[in-house]
């Protein structure tokens, strides 16, 4: 019997350790999947918030038919783009994927906005995520999108921005602060108002757009 008791205690100890490890992994999983709401919380209080930094591989450099596009060329030339390289330029940052049906609805609106705004010192930047590179490029060709795009194979950047579905659009001032956010397909009016807020550097809040797809 003396040999059974230590084994029994050892078994209980192992069970406690395994249970603790399971709880720890569960907590880690929940925290790692939690969406960051910092941006929307700040915008709801009419407060701008620094845009989360990122550096991603360039998917498409875009055209060079305007002063804005030419100004972006040096930042895009090395095949990677860091958000800090766009400091001094108001930015429309659009999260999208080729498998996102609402993104197809939105694409012509974004291209029209780029054509209208690229000569006014405003940059439109697409951020393709959770996608296949060839599919993403085929999407851009299909819709004749000529604005710069970067690619995040995961959803790491999206989580830092609090993105939970596609498409979503953020408006970033020349100082690098997020001043507006549209959840879902952005309308021409929402684009106009968001760009005006980015140019002025004033918070425009969070707006509901059209349909969207949950991120994978």
Question: What CATH number did the domain enclosing 69 receive?
Answer: 3.40.30.10
- The mean pLDDT of 123-138, rounded to a whole number, is 97
- The answer to pTM > 0.85 is no
Mean pLDDT of the chain: 85
Assess whether pLDDT exceeds 90 at residue 98: yes
Same domain, 30 and 52: no
Dist. CA 24–CA 162, nearest whole Å: 24
Question: Residue 199 pLDDT > 50, yes or no?
Answer: yes
Query: Considering its fold, how many domains does the chain have in total?
Result: 2
106 vs 204: CA distance, rounded Å:
21
* Percent of the chain's residues with pLDDT above 90: 69
Lowest-confidence segment of 26-40, 44-58, 65-79, 136-150 by average pLDDT: 26-40
71 and 170: one domain?
Answer: yes
User: How much is the average pLDDT of 79-96?
Assistant: 95
3-class SS at 101?
helix
Strand, coil or helix: 79: coil
β-pair partners for 50 = 177
* The pLDDT value given to residue 119: 83
pLDDT range class, residue 56, cuts 50, 70, 90: very high
Q: Same domain, yes or no, for 185 and 91?
A: yes
Q: Alpha carbon of 142 to those of 104, 107, 112, 146: distances in Å?
A: 10, 10, 15, 11
Parent domain of 4: 1-34
Q: Summarize the confidence of residues 183-190 as an average pLDDT.
A: 98
Q: How many residues does the chain have?
A: 216
- pLDDT score, position 68: 72
Q: What is the DSSP letter of 53?
A: P
| 128, pLDDT greater than 50 | yes
Same domain, 72 and 137: yes
| The predicted structure's pLDDT at residue 14 | 43
> 99 and 201 in one domain?
yes
């Amino acid at each position: 019997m003396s040999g059974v008791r230590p084994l029994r205690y050892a078994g209980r100890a192992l069970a406690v350790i395994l249970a603790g490890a399971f709880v720890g992994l569960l907590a880690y999983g929940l925290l790692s999947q939690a969406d960051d709401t910092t941006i929307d919380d700040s915008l709801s209080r009419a407060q701008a918030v620094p845009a989360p930094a990122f550096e991603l591989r360039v998917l498409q450099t875009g055209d060079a038919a305007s002063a804005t596009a030419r100004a972006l060329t040096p930042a895009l030339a090395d095949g990677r783009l860091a958000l800090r390289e766009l400091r001094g330029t108001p930015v429309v940052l659009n999260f999208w994927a080729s498998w996102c049906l609402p993104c197809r609805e939105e694409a012509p609106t974004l291209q029209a906005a780029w054509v209208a705004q690229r000569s006014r010192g405003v940059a439109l930047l697409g951020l393709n995520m959770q996608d296949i590179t060839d599919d993403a490029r085929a999407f851009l060709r299909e819709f004749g999108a000529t604005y710069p795009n970067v690619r995040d194979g995961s959803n790491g950047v999206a989580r830092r921005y609090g993105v939970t579905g596609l498409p979503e659009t953020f408006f970033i001032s020349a100082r690098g602060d997020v001043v507006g956010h549209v959840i879902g397909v952005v309308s021409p009016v929402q684009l106009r108002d968001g760009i005006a807020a980015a140019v002025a550097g004033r918070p425009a809040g969070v707006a509901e757009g059209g349909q969207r797809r949950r991120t994978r």
